[in-house]
Amino acid sequence: MDITSLTGIDSSYIKNAAIESQNLKTEDSSFSSVLQSAKDMLNETSELQNAAEEAEMQFMLGYATNTHDLQAAQEKADIALNYTIAVRDKMLEAYKEIMNMQI
């Protein structure tokens, strides 16, 4: 991979890009905001699971015949659940690491 054609990229450019990316962040990084976003993620996952179950019931009862919509709802719910589990695992890992710290 030839990168010799890239010009004008030096440490000041990288520094300015980093500063601009920090300025774009408007979210609060306090623990309460992190906890609130985790709660929102759980609610969204629950809603997607309920929507997938509803789509499955509609399909089984014969009200819906489109298998693509059913598959899409199930995949959304599955992805959201996997993401929620991954976040939970990382939070537990961080908690265990904090508990093992020496004071």
pLDDT in tens, 70-92: 999 999 999 999 999 998 899 89
The span from the CA of 90 to the CA of 72, in Å, is 27
Residue-wise pLDDT tens digits, 87-97: 889 989 988 99
Selection from 67, 70, 65 nearest residue 53 by Cα = 70
Kindly tell me if the per-residue pLDDT of 63 is higher than 50: yes
Q: How far is CA 16 from CA 12, 20, 79, 102, in A?
A: 6, 6, 36, 38
The pTM of this model reads 0.64
Annotated domain spans of the chain: 29-99
Q: What residue has token string 């890992």?
A: 93
Residues 77, 82, 83, 85, CA torsion sign:
positive
Specify whether the CB–CB gap between 51 and 78 falls below 8 A: no
69 vs 38, residue with greater confidence = 69
Question: pLDDT digits over 3-57, tens only?
Answer: 555 555 566 666 666 666 565 455 566 778 878 888 889 999 999 999 999 999 9
Q: Between vectors from CA 43 to CA 21 and to CA 87, what angle results, nearest 5°?
A: 55
Q: Are 45 and 81 in contact (CB under 8 A)?
A: yes
φ/ψ of 100, rounded to 5, equals -90, 0
